[in-house]
Chains A and B, each alone.
Chain A
C-alpha cells in the first residue's frame, strides 16, 4: 500500500497546499492592506478639479458626513531622466508645508520628506526609484508648467494611494515611465500658479455617513470650480485593482482545492474498499472476538486519518511556503511597506476538517460494508465475481477481440462507477493543465486584439489641455512622423435607467486607420457620424442595447447632460469606455475642433529624436509607446503566470499520477492471480502488461478528450469569474495548450505505468497458484 498511500498523500498535499496558499495569501494581503490603509490614513473620497480657492475648504468640511479633509495641488509633469530617452510622466502631489499629510500619509522607506522651504526637492515612489535605480541625492529634471527644473531626490516612499501605481487609462502598470512624486505644497503651488488655491481633495467619512450624499454634495460644491466628479475609494484605481486581484484569489481558492479534495476522496474510497476487502477475515475475527461495528469502523477511520495526515501536514507546510512565495510575487507589483504573512488558525482548522471530512465521506461506503458483514459471512471467501458479455462486444466487435482485449473490456464494464471516476479524475488533471495554458493563450489573444487588430498606432501623445485640431497638421509635418490622427477624451458619467458608470468617451476620426473599432466577431466597424458606441462589457454593466438612449453627463467644465443614442456595442477586452465620431463628440461638448491627443505612426529611426521633441513641447503631457505597453503588460503578468503555470502543472501531475497509479495498483492487486495464471500458461510479461495497462490506456484514451471538454468548461468558468471592468478574459484555448495538457497526463500515466509494470514483472507465480481467490 506504500505507493498508493504516497499517491494519496501527494493529492491531499496538493489540495491542502493550494488551499492554504490561496487563502493565506489573500488574508495576508487583506490584512497588510487594511493595516497600511489604517496606519497611513487612506482617504475614503477623492475628487480632482480645475482650481478652487483655499477658502472653499471650510465649505467642504461642513458637508454632512465629512470627517478629515485635505486639499492638495496635483499635476502631471514630463520628466527628463538622464540616460533614458523615452518619455516619462510624473504625477506630482503636494505635501503640506508642515511636512505631515493628514491623509494618504507617506511611508518613507529611505531618506526624508522634501524641505518645504526648497522648491527643488522631491520624494519619489519606490517602484519608480527601483526601475531607474535612483537613490537619495540623485537628480532628474521635470518640465513643470513648461519650465525645465532640476529636482533632487530626498526620499523614497510608499503611499496607500499608489499600492499599484498606474497611469490613468493605461492597460498595465509601467514603473519606468510613470512615477509618483511628492513636493512641498509651497513649491508646487508656485510652479503651477496655485498659491492660495487647490485642485485636488481627499477626505475621510464620519462613521455612519452616507457616501452617495457626500459625493453628491461634494459635486455640488465643486461643480463650478471645474470638479471632475467625486468618487469613492472603491473606484480609486489602486484600490480597485487590488480588490479585483483579491477576487481572483478567492475564485482560485475555491476551484482548485475543491478539485483536489474530490480526487483525494475518490482515491481513498478505492484504496480503502480494496483494503477492507482483503481484510475481510481479520474483520470477521475481530468481530468474532466481540468487537462491535463501531470499533471496526473507528479502526478504519483511524487508518484513513493516518493516511491523509501526512498529506495534510505536508500540505500546510507547502501551503505556507507557496503562500509566502506568492505574496512575494504580489509585492513586486503591489507595493506595501511591509508584508505581514497571516495564516489564521481557523484556516488550518478548516483545511484539516475539510480533508478529514471528505476523506471519511469517500470511505464511508467501504466502512459501512465492512461493519455490516456478519463474522461468518466475512470469514467465507468472497463470492466469485460475476461477469457478463460486455455491451461493446454485443455490437459485433466482440468476435474480433482477442481474449486479453476481451478481459480488458469486460473488466472496465464490470466496475462502471470506478471506471467513470477514474476517467473523471484523469480528465480533471487534464483540465487543470488546460486552465494554466489558458491564461497564456487568453492574454496573448487579448494583446493581439487590442494592440494588433485595434490599435494600429505605434505611439500616442496626450496634450495637457484640449488643443486645436491644427496640431495634427503640425505633427504630420514633423520629421519621423508618417501618419497622425487626433482623438478627444472626455470624462463622463453614463446613465441608463438606474445604472450609471464613470468612464471616458473617446472621440476618434471618422475614417480612422489607426484606431479601429471591432464588432463582437472582431470585424471592423465604421464609426457612424452620430451616436455612441460602447464596449460590450459597458453595455452589459449599463444594461443597454443598440438603439437605447443613453444619458451622458460630462464631467469637464461644461457639465452638460445630453441624451445620445447607442449605435452599437464594440468588442474590447481591456478597459471600459464609449466611442464617438470626433466631430460628433466635439458637437456634444459645444467645442470647436478640439483634440486631447494624437495617435502616431512613427519612423523608428527618429524615435529618440521625437521623444526629445515631445519633452520640449509644453502642451504635450505624455507619450505612450505601444511596444512598451505590450512589453509591460507581459512583464506584469509574466511572473504571476509562471508561478501559476508551475502550481497548475504540479497539481495536474499529482492528480494524474495519483489517479493512474492508484487505478493500476488496485487492478494489479485485484488481478495479480489472474495475471500470474496467464504467465504460467505461457503469456509473456509484455502480454500480461497489455491486459493491465491496456485497461488504463483505454481509460486515458477516453479521459483525455473528456479532459479537453472539462478544461474548456473550467476555463469558461474562470474567464467569467475573473472578468471585470478592467479586463475581460477572452475564451481562447490554443491547440498547443490542449497538446501540452495531453502530454502531461500521458507522461504522468506513463511513469505510473512503468512503476506498475516493474511490479508486474516480479509477480510471484508460484505463490499465487497456492492461494484460493
Chain B
C-alpha cells in the first residue's frame, strides 16, 4: 500500500478475552494491522474468527484486553467512555448487518439523527442522493425494502463526513442483487469522498472490490493480500 497515505489505524498485539459464564473465550490473539486513509479494506473470515470483535474495538464500541489501538495518534485503548463517544460521534461511520434504523423516523430523519449532532455534516438529502434514495426521503423503515434500509444506514453513516466507515456484514441480511446495490453505494462513497472503509464479511466474493484483504482465522491475521486489480461492485457475483 502507498506508505505516503496517512495511517488512520494502528493496531498492535491486540488481544480480547471474553468471559462467558465460567468459560474464557479468546476472540483476538495478538492482531497487528494498519488502515490507511482512503483505502477500502475487506476483513474476511468465517464466523468466530474475531473480525467483528476487531471492528468493534476499532469503532470504540468495545475495549481490548491487551494491546494497543490508535486512531490518528489517539490511543483508543486508554480512552474513557466519554472520549469514545466523542470519537464515534466525530470520526466513525457505522453500517450494520441489520441496519439499526430508528423505526419511528423517516429515511431523511434517520440521517438527520446524525447530522444534528455532527460537526461538519452533509445535507441529509445529499447523503441520501449519494445512495440513490432521493425518491424515498419521507418513507419510514417499515415502508422500505431491506436494501433500501441498508442504503439509508449508509447515508446515515456518511452524512457526518466521517474519516472512516466501518461496515459489519452490510450485505449479510440481503439477497445478492440487493447486496450488490449496497456495495455499489459503499464503493461510490469510498471513491468520491475518499472515506477509508473497512468491510467485514464472510463472503469471499466481496473481497474482490477491496484494495487490501485481511484474512482472519481463529483470532489471528492469517494473511494480508492486496488486489492488484480491484473489481467494481457491479462485477461481483455470488
Contacts and interface: CB of A to CB of B under 8 A. Distances in A.
A766 B56 contact: yes
B140 A681 contact: no
Contacts of B116: 402-403
B100 A410 contact: no
A406 interface: yes
Contact of B61 (A684, A765, A771): A765
A680 B61 contact: yes
Contacts of B102: 403, 407, 674, 677-678
Contacts of B114: 681-682
B51 interface: no
Nearest to B56: A766
Interface string A371-389: 0000000000001111110
Contacts of A385: 103-104, 142
A679 B56 CA distance: 13
Interface centre among A386, A402, A403, A773 (most CB of B within 10 A): A403
A770 B81 CA distance: 21
Contact of B105 (A406, A765, A771): A406
A91 interface: no
A769 B104 contact: no
Interface in B116-168: 116-118, 140-142, 156, 160, 168
A417 to B, nearest CB: 17
B113 A388 contact: no
Interface in B38-93: 52, 56, 59, 61-62, 81-82, 85-86, 88-90, 92
A403 B113 contact: yes
A51 to B, nearest CB: 88
Contacts of A387: 103-105, 140, 142
A384 B142 contact: yes
Given A406-B109, A771-B98, A681 B88 contact: yes
A404 B104 CA distance: 10
A673 B100 contact: yes
A772 interface: yes
B113 A678 contact: yes
A348 to B, nearest CB: 44
Nearest to B144: A384
B9 interface: no
Contact of B103 (A384, A681, A687): A384
B103 A680 contact: no
Most A Cβ at <10 Å: residue of B98, B116, B156: B98
A384 B117 contact: no
A388 B112 CA distance: 17
B36 interface: no
Contacts of A765: 61-62
A683 interface: yes
Given A679-B85, A682-B117, A386 B142 contact: yes
A71 B158 CA distance: 102
Contacts of B103: 384-385, 387, 674, 773
A773 B149 CA distance: 13
A136 B74 CA distance: 91
B141 A384 contact: yes
A680 B142 contact: no
A766 B62 contact: yes
Interface in B158-181: 160, 168, 173
A229 B104 CA distance: 77
Nearest to A683: B117
Contacts of B56: 766
Contacts of A773: 98, 103
A94 B103 CA distance: 86
A407 B102 CA distance: 8
A545 interface: no
A681 B95 CA distance: 10
A681 B168 contact: no
Interface string A395-407: 0000000111011
A769 B62 CA distance: 12
B89 A682 contact: yes
B54 to A, nearest CB: 12
B156 A410 contact: no
Interface string A738-773: 000000000000000000000000000110011111
Interface string A419-436: 000000000000000000
B88 A407 contact: no
Contacts of B160: 682
A384 B81 CA distance: 32
Given A407-B104, A682-B114, A772 B98 contact: yes
Contacts of B101: 677
B85 to A, nearest CB: 5
Nearest to A388: B140
Contacts of A687: 117
A460 interface: no
A411 B104 contact: yes
A406 B105 CA distance: 8
A403 to B, nearest CB: 4
A595 B113 CA distance: 85
A773 to B, nearest CB: 7
A414 interface: yes
A383 B143 CA distance: 11
B92 to A, nearest CB: 8
A682 B88 contact: yes
B98 to A, nearest CB: 5
Interface string B217-232: 0000000000000000
B104 A681 contact: no
With most chain A CB atoms within 10 A of its CB, the pick from B89, B168, B173 is: B89
Contacts of B97: 769-770
Given A386-B142, A682-B117, A766-B61, A410 B90 contact: no
Contact of A682 (B85, B105, B141): B85
A196 B145 CA distance: 108
B192 to A, nearest CB: 22
Contacts of B61: 680, 765-766, 769
Contacts of B90: 682
Residue among B59, B105, B156 with most chain A CB within 10 A:
B105
Contacts of B62: 765-766
B228 to A, nearest CB: 34
Contacts of B89: 681-684
Contacts of B59: 680
Nearest to B143: A386
B14 to A, nearest CB: 16
B151 to A, nearest CB: 16
Contacts of B94: 680-681
Most B C-beta atoms less than 10 A away, residue of A406, A677, A683? A677
Contacts of A677: 96, 100-102
Nearest to A401: B109
Contacts of B118: 682
Contacts of A680: 59, 61, 88, 94, 100
A393 to B, nearest CB: 11
A771 B114 CA distance: 22
Given A386-B142, A682-B90, A406 B100 contact: no
Contact of B156 (A384, A411, A681, A772): A681
30 contacts: A384-B141, A385-B104, A386-B140, A387-B105, A387-B140, A402-B116, A403-B102, A403-B113, A404-B113, A407-B104, A407-B105, A673-B100, A674-B100, A677-B100, A677-B102, A679-B85, A680-B59, A680-B88, A681-B114, A682-B85, A682-B86, A682-B88, A682-B114, A684-B82, A766-B62, A769-B61, A769-B100, A769-B168, A770-B97, A772-B98
Given A403-B113, A772-B173, A773-B103, 11 more contacts: A384-B141, A385-B103, A387-B140, A403-B116, A674-B100, A674-B102, A677-B101, A681-B88, A682-B160, A765-B61, A769-B168
Interface of A: 383-388, 402-404, 406-407, 410-411, 414, 673-674, 677-685, 687, 765-766, 769-773
The 8 closest A-B pairs by CB, nearest first: A682-B89, A677-B100, A384-B142, A410-B104, A682-B88, A403-B113, A387-B104, A386-B142
